[in-house]
Amino acid sequence: EDKVVQSPLSLVVHEGDTVTLNCSYEVTNFRSLLWYKQEKKAPTFLFMLTSSGIEKKSGRLSSILDKKELSSILNITATQTGDSAIYLCAVGEGFGNEKLTFGTGTRLTIIP
């Protein structure tokens, strides 16, 4: 059975800290790994990673995939209270990522 595991499940840090969120996966037909941010509403897309070792960056967020270790990390530097959310990792299968298998998420809380 396909599995995506995220750690830690929950993280509380002070504003300005740097955090690293982890995602590991076991899927039969890996195509890509995606990160989403979910506040109280719909998940919003952050990154899609398909190649090992190539960092994707957007502002204070960055992510990298390690296909040998079947894992990915999401880094957030200089955290702000607006970064408080659940961060979801998902693995896409099939030609167009038709089916995403999600992890349970990491709940990140930033204390002012």
Enumerate binding residues for other proteins (CB under 8 A): 4, 32, 34, 41-45, 48, 88, 90, 92, 96-105
Q: Cβ distance 90 to 33 under 8 Å?
A: yes
- Which C-beta is closer to other proteins: that of 15 or that of 71? 71
Q: Which of 11, 8, 36 is nearest to 109 (CA)?
A: 11
- Which C-beta is closer to other proteins: that of 18 or that of 39? 39
User: What gap in Å lies between CA 44 and CA 95, rounded to an integer?
Assistant: 21
Minimum distance of other proteins from residue 104's CB (angstroms) = 5
- Which C-beta is closer to other proteins: that of 66 or that of 93? 93
Minimum distance of other proteins from residue 10's CB (angstroms) = 10
Peptide bond preceding 8: is omega within 30 degrees of 0, i.e. cis? yes
